[in-house]
Amino acid sequence: MILIPAIDLKDGQCVRLRQGLMEDATIFSEDPLAMGRHWQNLGAERLHLVDLNGAFEGKPENEVAISQIVDAIGENVPVQVGGGIRDLVTIERYIKRGVAFVIIGTAAVRKPQFLKEACSAFPGHIIVGLDGKEGKVAVDGWAAVTEDRVIDLAQKFQDYGVEGVIYTDIGRDGMMTGANIESTQELASSLDIPVIASGGISSIDDILRLKELEAHGVTAAITGRAIYELAFDFKEANRVAKYG
């Protein structure tokens, strides 16, 4: 299992939200490129970039910052990008730029055919992001909760050919309250594709508990606020994620 640093972009700055609320953002850096290089220097094997403005607006809004990071380190550290990706043209533009994986969230739920077409057009590059609240899928930057169950949609999208699923418990995201181990294990056990855990990681103990789910298919965990607030050392946490 690897530990993936998150760089959440809002108005060109690196921020973290609490429970996905744009009005509850903490700015951690005004230089996302420097932050990307920072995590690269500490041994990150992948970066997770989220265009928060894009997620709410429905179209990319932080492409300049994303492009700078990918141009600088994308050849050495694979970059996955999500937020505001609603059409094949955007996906193609990101992949041509050097983005390794494109994350489709709201659009996958609202327009499953789009996700199917994306998997067909860009095999090996599509990850689906499913954000859950009490087992149901949230969309539109977490502004709305659907009646769809996370597990049901994940199984459906697995058949489409997605490379993996990023599962975020939005009730815990940015709250430093610990990962939702039970729901993550339940989801991973129901799938044959990798699951990337996200939301609430606050300690080395959380990482050790997620590490125990590796046999169920949890291959990575995304961490954000904890590493920015120095709740634990990233290099040590990444070593624990890889080797236990």
Element (H, E) at 130: strand 126-133
Contact 136, 145 (CB under 8 A): yes
Name residues whose C-beta falls within 8 Å of residue 183's C-beta, 6 or more positions apart in sequence.
Answer: 132, 135, 150, 167, 169
Question: Which residue, among 33, 3, 27, 1, has the nearest Cα to 14 in the 3D structure?
Answer: 27
The length of the chain is 244
Catalytic positions are 8, 131
Q: Distance between CA 166 and CA 219 in Å, rounded?
A: 10
Q: C-alpha distances in angstroms, 45 versus 19, 137, 158, 222, 235? A: 26, 28, 24, 12, 11
Dig out the tokens for 79 from the structure: 């970059």
